[in-house]
Chains A and B, each alone.
Chain A
């Protein structure tokens, strides 16, 4: 189990134990954390699982896969530290990851 902290736009924090191998998106959806829609179900075909990765974590994550930035172009208010949470696989390496959720997804 790996601890992931999701911080809603209103500041509400949720720290969840997520099973390794799931994605950060799945961790949010399975635990009913509001603010992650994941309309396409994780196929990188929408941008509704968009998160802002806390700065000191951004460089520690695996690099974006091909096409992820293309989808982030279509997200709500993308920033430099934007990622799609369906592309972040949970492992011991990211234990303690903090992601901020945007104001909305659509």
Chain B
């Protein structure tokens, strides 16, 4: 059981700056995120897209913003738990007990949800029958490529993951690649490679086709694909891989007894606290009258939620407001010299 003053769920810009604010006022914190990297939507959805409305930064990309926030956190040693989704949040006396998908357990008086629009998960096939083969013959990510050696693998998708894996697996497997249109959204060099391998017969390419049925009993036998013009083909296959990008789901957050409004969590505008004492929501995932889904709003919300955490984490101390320009205590925390 890890004890911490505050646990932040979500390592996007709001979560990162909230961590900064907690550390500045002398609280410790840890951050959990379901993605395998820091940055949230900024990194996952628009790493290269410029953002123009961060105060005092005329223009920066999602990736640059993330790098700068990480740099700003550098004086503090913050423990990140990536690739872990928070599944359970339960009250235990004055603390919240939090459990992740990897079984990591936390005990903390403060939980700050900075979860954006929920956790990122792979989009799956909409065919119901695909569920029974999931993680056996149907995969949405690859952990061990050896299992595909000498087998027939049918890959769906038109982005980098689909194309990269089609190229890679064509070395040792029979590969079918299926995409709903003629154009691909992967890197040009990979698209060229796929066309080359198609010409040489290493990849069987089917465009304007989509999955329509799968057949098999205990193991997968074949997949049926249908063309835009209704033509149907049946392909024998041992494995199916689906790479349709990531979707965002509120996920387990919906089960924590919080007041929800559509996919957002209702908070007050003093502490950004939810209807549960000690659970806060900041950034895109929170809602209140006048809420703006801007990164700068998330920074403000995180700063206030951090001050609210102080009260529960240090019930016997009084919080003192201080400026980073003048406070010796804060400068010590930042590891910079005082004047």
Contact = CB atoms under 8 A, between A and B. Distances in A.
SS of A interface (majority): loop
A46 B185 contact: no
A37 interface: yes
Contact of A45 (B41, B159, B263): B41
A81 to B, nearest CB: 11
B46 A69 contact: no
Interface of B: 41, 45-46, 49, 117, 123, 126, 157-159, 179-181, 183, 185, 210, 228, 244-249, 263, 293
A22 interface: no
A73 B185 contact: yes
Contact of B181 (A41, A43, A69, A77): A69
Given A37-B263, A74-B123, A76-B126, A106 B244 contact: no
SS of B interface (majority): loop
Interface residues of A, number: 19
B159 to A, nearest CB: 7
B45 A46 contact: yes
Contacts of B246: 74
Contacts, number: 51
A17 interface: no
Task: Please indicate which of the listed interface residues A40, A69, A73, A106 has the most CB atoms of chain B within 10 Å of its own CB.
Answer: A73
Given A45-B49, A70-B185, 9 more contacts: A39-B248, A45-B41, A45-B46, A48-B247, A73-B185, A74-B244, A74-B246, A74-B247, A106-B123
A39 B210 CA distance: 25
B4 to A, nearest CB: 30
A106 B123 CA distance: 8
Contacts of A46: 45, 247-248
Contact of A76 (B123, B179, B180): B123
A12 B185 CA distance: 35
A52 to B, nearest CB: 14
Given A39-B117, A45-B41, A69-B183, A106 B249 contact: yes
19 contacts: A37-B263, A40-B41, A41-B293, A43-B46, A43-B49, A47-B245, A48-B248, A69-B181, A69-B185, A70-B159, A70-B185, A73-B158, A73-B180, A74-B159, A74-B246, A74-B247, A77-B126, A106-B247, A106-B248
A73 to B, nearest CB: 5
A83 B46 CA distance: 20
Nearest to A43: B46
Given A39-B248, A41-B293, A80 B228 contact: yes
Contacts of B123: 74, 76, 106
A41 B116 CA distance: 12
B285 to A, nearest CB: 11
Interface in A46-88: 46-48, 69-70, 73-74, 76-78, 80
A31 to B, nearest CB: 14
Interface in A79-106: 80, 103, 106
Considering the complex of A and B, which 4 residue pairs feature the smallest CB-CB distances, nearest first? A74-B245, A70-B185, A45-B45, A106-B247
B178 to A, nearest CB: 12
B213 to A, nearest CB: 14
B45 A78 contact: no
Contacts of A43: 46, 49
A52 B153 CA distance: 31
Contacts of B159: 70, 73-74
Task: Please indicate which of the listed interface residues B49, B180, B263, B293 has the most CB atoms of chain A within 10 Å of its own CB.
Answer: B180
A73 B157 contact: yes
A22 to B, nearest CB: 17
